[in-house]
């Protein structure tokens, strides 16, 4: 049997990217069809032991040497709007292949790459002017002066990636249409994003495990928290609901952007006793928070063209969820999620949906059940892997797509949560910065620069390197 050989270049844990989880869940299913060699950033040591047990895992600097020694049948590069993709982007330009584009907008990555890898911020400025004219040059000057604005999303800066790609895999019609407009000659295929279905978890048991009030109504948002996640209008709706006499709390589960002053916003709205900010939590605790929520809020505007794995995990868990009616989120079928229009009516729509779904448990449960059924049929890992393989076979001219192994290389189905040990009661908490006088001047200047570039506490690989250099 001539089993295809695939070079698969992607972040994996502990690299701070949602694509790390994505790849670790997809790889065992791709391994049914091909021999996969995983290439990771130089110096990264994967924390998932299954990767080394079932795959060849090599530093990405060896890709060209390995390809010369024994050519691969396909090269796959994963690109997202995060510093975790720096080495992948460098290699994708030297040895072109198929690029999986997770974010249409790569503006923030390209700015970071020019400053930190190219060490020439003017490289970014010149690229913005060359592609977008005077408007791009003006936006570049704002960005390098840390004047971040929603208008930056109008300048995707994905054109260099499209130019370097032999073919492009995307997860939505939204991204496909934008790519075709930018480069009509580039082969583009839509593949579904697959996620594993979590086992059902009882709401009451999850709340007891987390120390949350058993009878309160809980809204919850998940993932990295920034201004584009529509937290402010949701907080204002929280205030409206509590003014109506409802005991509603809001959980914010995830890290907080250093560019977003969440603490001041909560205090200004006098909601400190109704909001719980957890920071980053382990996977088991994350899933418990999902199960504990009455209604999930997964809004974002503007959109970077991403298809959200975290949203699919919420839907797969059977949680009634609010989404913004933009980008790929607008492609969800009716009856799977409650869609909110970003604009003047956004707050009113959030309030109306909250009143409806928090007030009618049977309606919320029906919405959650349809969401889970949708993910179980349209976003399976088996379906995603098959779509990958069929597209790669067509583009690279393989004679046939054949499953050589009957089962995935390893099991990625989430284990049932052990809720027998209760955590300490959850209390409202916010990220407090250190006192101004306690910060070393050098560290303060470096921290300011990192914040300007959009780095967060999740960027562990980059932060470790910076800390070593400071030391």
The pLDDT confidence band at residue 451, using thresholds 50, 70 and 90, is low
Q: What is the DSSP letter of 81?
A: S
Residues forming beta bridges with residue 279, ordered by sequence position? 253, 254
pLDDT at 134 over 70: yes
pLDDT at 467 over 80: no
Determine the pLDDT at residue 147: 77
Is residue 302 helix, strand or coil?
coil
Q: Which residue has the higher pLDDT, 424 or 24?
A: 24
CB atoms within 10 A of CB 309: 21
162: which 2 tokens?
């499209």
Host H or E run for residue 234: helix 231-243
Which residues touch 100 (CB under 8 Å, ≥6 apart)? 76, 77, 78, 79, 168, 169, 170
pLDDT at 368 over 80: yes
CA dist 33 and 247 (Å) reads 52
User: How far is the CA of 56 from the CAs of 31, 46, 86, 149, 335, in angstroms?
Assistant: 11, 12, 21, 42, 43
Q: What is the DSSP string of 106-132?
A: -HHHHHHHHHHTS--HHHHHHHHHHHH
CA dist 380 and 312 (Å) reads 11
User: How far is the CA of 435 from the CAs of 156, 438, 444, 466, in angstroms?
Assistant: 37, 5, 11, 22
pLDDT, mean of residues 206-215: 93
Residue 259 Rama label (left phi>0; alpha psi -120 to 50; beta) = alpha
pLDDT, mean of residues 37-58: 95
Per DSSP (E only), the strands in 116-205 are 167-170, 188-190
Its pTM stands at 0.85
197: which 2 tokens?
């279905």
pLDDT at 434 over 50: no
173: which 2 tokens?
């019609």
Determine the pLDDT at residue 430: 47
Determine the pLDDT at residue 30: 98
pLDDT at 303 over 90: no
Determine the pLDDT at residue 432: 43
∠ Cα 185 83 9 (to 5°) = 60
pLDDT, mean of residues 64-68: 96
Determine the pLDDT at residue 456: 67
CA dist 391 and 393 (Å) reads 5
pLDDT at 353 over 90: yes
CA dist 226 and 233 (Å) reads 13
pLDDT, mean of residues 113-126: 91
Residues forming beta bridges with residue 323, ordered by sequence position? 298, 339
pLDDT at 433 over 60: no
What's the mean per-residue pLDDT of the chain? 90
The pLDDT confidence band at residue 420, using thresholds 50, 70 and 90, is low
Q: Which residue has the higher pLDDT, 342 or 145?
A: 342
The pLDDT confidence band at residue 127, using thresholds 50, 70 and 90, is very high
The pLDDT confidence band at residue 436, using thresholds 50, 70 and 90, is very low
pLDDT, mean of residues 367-379: 97
Phi first, then psi, for residue 333 (nearest 5°) are: -70, 155
CA dist 242 and 230 (Å) reads 19
Residues forming beta bridges with residue 280, ordered by sequence position? none
User: How far is the CA of 311 from the CAs of 217, 322, 444, in angstroms?
Assistant: 20, 10, 35
CA dist 238 and 253 (Å) reads 16
> Could you tell me if 368 and 378 are in contact, meaning their C-beta atoms sit under 8 angstroms apart?
no
The pLDDT confidence band at residue 407, using thresholds 50, 70 and 90, is very high
Phi first, then psi, for residue 127 (nearest 5°) are: -65, -40
373: which 2 tokens?
């059924």
Q: Over pLDDT 90: what percentage of the chain?
A: 71
pLDDT at 360 over 70: yes
Determine the pLDDT at residue 424: 61
pLDDT at 384 over 60: yes
pLDDT, mean of residues 260-273: 92
Residue 283's closest CA among 414, 469, 371, 187? 414
Q: Are strands 98-101 and 74-79 parallel, antiparallel or unpaired?
A: parallel
pLDDT at 196 over 50: yes
Determine the pLDDT at residue 438: 46
Host H or E run for residue 181: helix 173-182
pLDDT, mean of residues 162-170: 97
Is residue 464 helix, strand or coil?
helix
Cis peptide preceding 331, ω within 30 of 0 = no
> Could you tell me if 97 and 77 are in contact, meaning their C-beta atoms sit under 8 angstroms apart?
yes
């Amino acid at each position: 049997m001539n089993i295809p050989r695939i070079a698969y270049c992607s972040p994996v844990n502990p690299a701070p990217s949602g694509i790390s989880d994505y790849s670790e869940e997809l790889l065992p299913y791709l391994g049914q069809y091909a021999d996969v060699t995983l290439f990771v950033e130089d110096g990264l040591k994967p924390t998932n032991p299954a990767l080394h047990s079932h795959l060849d895992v090599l530093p990405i600097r060896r890709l060209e040497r390995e390809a010369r020694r024994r050519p691969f049948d396909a090269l796959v590069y994963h690109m997202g709007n995060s510093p975790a993709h720096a080495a992948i982007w460098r290699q994708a330009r030297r040895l072109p292949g198929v690029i999986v584009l997770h974010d249409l907008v790569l503006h923030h990555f390209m700015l970071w790459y020019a400053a930190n890898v190219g060490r020439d911020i003017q490289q970014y400025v010149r690229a913005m002017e060359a592609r977008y004219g005077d408007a791009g040059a003006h936006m570049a000057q704002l960005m390098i002066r840390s004047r971040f604005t929603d208008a930056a999303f109008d300048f995707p800066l994905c054109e260099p990636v499209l130019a370097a790609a032999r073919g492009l895999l995307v997860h939505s019609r939204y991204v496909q249409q934008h790519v075709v407009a930018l480069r009509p000659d580039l082969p583009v295929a839509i593949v579904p994003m697959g996620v594993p279905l979590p086992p059902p978890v009882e709401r009451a048991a999850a709340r007891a495990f987390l120390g949350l009030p058993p009878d309160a109504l809980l809204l919850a948002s998940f993932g990295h928290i920034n201004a584009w996640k529509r937290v402010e209008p949701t907080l204002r709706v929280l205030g409206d609901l509590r003014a109506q006499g409802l005991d509603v709390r809001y959980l914010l589960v995830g890290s907080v952007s250093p560019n977003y002053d969440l603490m001041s916003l909560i205090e200004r709205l006098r909601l400190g006793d109704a909001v719980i900010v957890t920071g980053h939590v382990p996977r088991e605790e994350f899933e418990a928070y999902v199960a504990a929520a009455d209604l999930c809020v997964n809004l974002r505007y503007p959109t970077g063209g991403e298809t959200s794995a975290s949203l699919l995990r919420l839907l797969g868990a059977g949680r009634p969820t609010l989404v913004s009616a933009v980008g790929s989120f607008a492609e969800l079928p009716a009856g799977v999620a409650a869609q909110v229009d970003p604009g003047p009516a956004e707050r009113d729509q959030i309030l109306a949906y909250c009143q409806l779904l928090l007030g009618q448990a049977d309606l919320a449960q029906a919405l959650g059940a349809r969401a889970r059924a949708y993910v179980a049929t349209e976003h399976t890992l088996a379906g995603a892997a098959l779509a990958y393989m069929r597209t790669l076979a067509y583009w690279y001219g393989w004679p046939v797509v054949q499953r050589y192994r009957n089962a995935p290389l390893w099991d990625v189905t989430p284990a049932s949560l052990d809720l027998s040990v209760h955590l300490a009661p959850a209390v409202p908490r916010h990220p407090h910065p250190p006192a101004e006088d306690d910060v070393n001047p050098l560290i303060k200047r470096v921290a300011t620069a990192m914040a300007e570039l959009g780095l967060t506490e999740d960027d562990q690989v980059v932060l470790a390197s910076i800390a070593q250099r400071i030391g």
